[in-house]
Structure 1
Amino acid sequence: MDNRADARRFGRRAVLGGASAALLASAASGTATAEDAQSPNGPLSEIPIVLPRTELVYEAVFDLEPTMMLGQGPLGERRIVPIAGGVFAGPRLKGKVVPGGADRQLMRKDGAHMLNALYELQTDDGAVITVNNRVLIDKRLDGTPYAFSNIDITAPEGPHDWLNHLVFVGTLHSMAPQPKVLIRVYSLT
């Protein structure tokens, strides 16, 4: 099989060929070597690279209460930010942020911030969706800041059940000086 022709036919994806099958077989039997995996023309170079795409699920503006300082811990400063409410909307759902959630924060000693927000969203049709949003705020090697998150969403059975079958990531943007944040949630496809 001509891998170049298949790569053209399937875009940038290559196909798993005989050499990769041989590597997988040797890996299963314990005879694969580090050189097999690192060779630029070796078997692993034929495994498809499939980059994830994202699709907007919703964006939400959260109204926040004042930050409560919880004191220094072994890993850094601990804080909690109560969520007072807000709104959210996306292509397939919209509604309000239910008051009562909170964002637990750890300001690490190395300068990174780890956030863990647990909250509920109520859709316009009355469904209550639970969200656990874990955010890392840090700096790239070039010094520019970023804030990305890994999000778990649990929806009730019914019209929003599709949310239970996806992987979610997100972004976080401060709306300072207002006590608000903007969160955008995307599904990986």
Structure 2
Amino acid sequence: MRILIGLLSLLYVFSCHAGESIRSAKSNDKNSPVDGEPEHRFVTKHIWDAKVDIGSVLELGASKYGTRRTIPILGGTFTGPHINGTVIPGGADWQVTRADGDTELHARYLLKTNDGVLIQVINRALIHSPVTDEKNVAPYIRSVLELEAPSDSKYAYLNHAIFLGTLEIPQLKPGENPYVIIGVHQLL
């Protein structure tokens, strides 16, 4: 329910500012899922980048919503200007690839700051790989994160903002264990 409220709040913010100066000319982003739609420019602040170690993909198979899989989260680290720590093993990224080819991700895991505070992360993402004849076209990957920190901690500010994310899936070197890079940014 909190995720739904958070997403509805985000949509409300977008709709309230649709006619203001944050609207720019037509999008030039060829990876935009909706060509020709106006591009919105939002101001964000970098919070952290996380290197998240992941396990082998577990294929659940076809379901009524699409092809399901899950990827275990094995650990990792995160580093930002004012917050650093580790990714706690035990979370997972639950995915469904829809009939239209897009993949929805729903990851849930814990972070532990260097000073011992646990922060819950719920990350919902969309991966859209455009159908094109062009080579090396990067997929569109964006996410909305819900962060939950103890109310009595110095990280309580994470409970009162909307966070947007990026996801980078690096090309692994031989012998390198799989990981992803997640960039987290606060919407101002």
Q: TM-score, structure 2 length as denominator? A: 0.72
Q: Which has the higher helix share?
A: 1
Indicate yes or no: 2:62 matched with 1:60.
no
Which letter does structure 2 place at the counterpart of 1:127?
A: V
Which letter does structure 1 place at the counterpart of 2:124?
A: R
Please state how far the C-alpha of 1:140 moved relative to its aligned partner: 5.5
Alignment correspondent of 1:154: 148
Which letter does structure 2 place at the counterpart of 1:168?
A: F
CA offset digits 1:44-64 (Å, max 9, x no partner): xxx633452011100000111
Indicate yes or no: 2:130 matched with 1:130.
no
Name stretches of at least 5 consecutive residues in structure 1 with no aligned partner: 1-46
Alignment of 1:1-189 (within 5 A): 48-50=20-22, 51-139=41-129, 144=137, 145-157=139-151, 158-177=153-172, 178-189=177-188
Give the aligned length: 143
Decide which structure has the larger Cα Rg and report it: 1
Q: TM-score, structure 1 length as denominator? A: 0.71
Please state how far the C-alpha of 1:118 moved relative to its aligned partner: 0.3
CA distance in 2, matches of 1:81, 1:139: 20
Percent identity, please: 39
Root-mean-square deviation (CA, aligned residues, Å) is 1.6
CA distance in 2, matches of 1:48, 1:172: 29
Q: Post-superposition, which runs of at least 4 consecutive aligned residues in structure 1 deviate over 4 A?
A: 140-144
CA distance in 1, matches of 2:77, 2:129: 29
